Amino acid sequence: MKESLKIGGIGFMIGLFVAAIAAHICYDEGFDHGFAEAEARQADAVKIAQNEVKKDYEKRISELSASLERLHSDNAQRLRQLNDFSHAKTDLATCRRDRSRLGRLAVRGEELLKRADSYFEALSVK
């Protein structure tokens, strides 16, 4: 009986040892699997963030390109206007006449605005 108890105890110890080794292997495999999943999720998050930054960057580049094109167009228009002005055949008398006409138009516009304001005030009083 003692001998069978010794064999049973040795069998139990071997079983316990094998179970401990199996538990350790399973734990390591599970830990490695969880660690790999966490790294994969983090890599996916980084990839998504990089794609968002890339989209923002491309959008900003297209906006800046459009702005640069508008600026180039505006500068070309100003250059044409300056060229037309420098080649215009006007003298001092023509400039003074034009200035005088524009002054009269400005005064007339102010008078019309005053009349319109007084007309609207008269309408709102009633």
Query: pLDDT averaged over consecutive 10-residue blocks of the chain (126 residues)?
Result: 69 75 72 76 91 93 92 93 80 87 94 89 75
**What's the confidence (pLDDT) of residue 58?**
92
Spell out a b/e string for 7-20, using b for 16 or more CB atoms within 10 Å of the CB, else e.
eeeeeeeeeeeeee
Beta strands per DSSP E along the chain: none
Q: What does pTM read for this prediction? A: 0.41
The alpha carbon torsion through 9, 12, 17, 19 (nearest 10 deg) reads -170
